[in-house]
Amino acid sequence: MIPQFLVAIIEQAVNQVFRLDTSLHHSLQPTKHKTLLIEVRDWQQAFSLTYTGTQLFIFSSDERQADCIISTDLATLQQLSQANKITQLIRENKLDLDGDLHLAQTYSGAFSKINIDWEEHLADYLGDAASHNVFRLLRKTQQQTRTSMQKCQSTLTALMQDELKVAIHPIELSQFKEQNRTLKAQCAQLELRIDHLLKQVKG
């Protein structure tokens, strides 16, 4: 469970986003003074979100009264950045929603459209050249990290495939033993026939 002081920090961070992307205010106008309650099953904790027209209030809440209540796990919650996926997640029983579906879709759509030029904002503190260099380094690091992750994934896949080739399934092992026994029996019969023929030739 997330303590309230961390919830307050998250609230401050979200409201900072409002200052960096003012279009978010316009997108959330239809939700003004309405409460969205999000229950995160993994944490056994619920959070209420209320937009007042100037800022967003976030509280850890035990109350079940809200204009819209969403109950889901953390992994599914991360998929809500696409407003059109909400109904699909409901049909797949990954998300429970009670109340105003449009309210949930409005929040989802608003935050998915956030467009902040972080390089421009950083330039206000570091200057254009330094800000450009910082973001160029970040993009390069991101690309290197992505490449490394892809290589690790490919290596892991190859190792798993090799392991599967080396490891014999119990059924395959049983079949091999049966085939081996049959081959030994056939060899023994062939050996007896050869001995019998040799005896006939000598006789």
pLDDT at position 193, please? 67
pLDDT tens by residue, 77-89: 878 777 678 888 8
pLDDT tens by residue, 26-50: 999 999 999 999 999 888 889 999 9
User: Between β-strands 68-72 and 35-40, what pairing exists: parallel, antiparallel or unpaired?
Assistant: parallel
CA 51 vs CA 83, 135, 194: distances in Å: 18, 32, 95
Domain map (residue ranges) of the chain? 4-116, 117-166, 168-203
Give the CATH class of 4-116: alpha beta
Instruction: Print burial letters for 102-122: b (CB count within 10 Å at least 16), e (below 16).
Output: ebbbbbbbbbeeeeeeebeeb
pLDDT tens by residue, 46-66: 999 999 999 999 998 887 789
Distance separating alpha carbons of residues 145 and 75, to the nearest angstrom: 22
Could you tell me which residues come within 8 angstroms of residue 44 by beta carbon, excluding any fewer than 6 positions away?
1
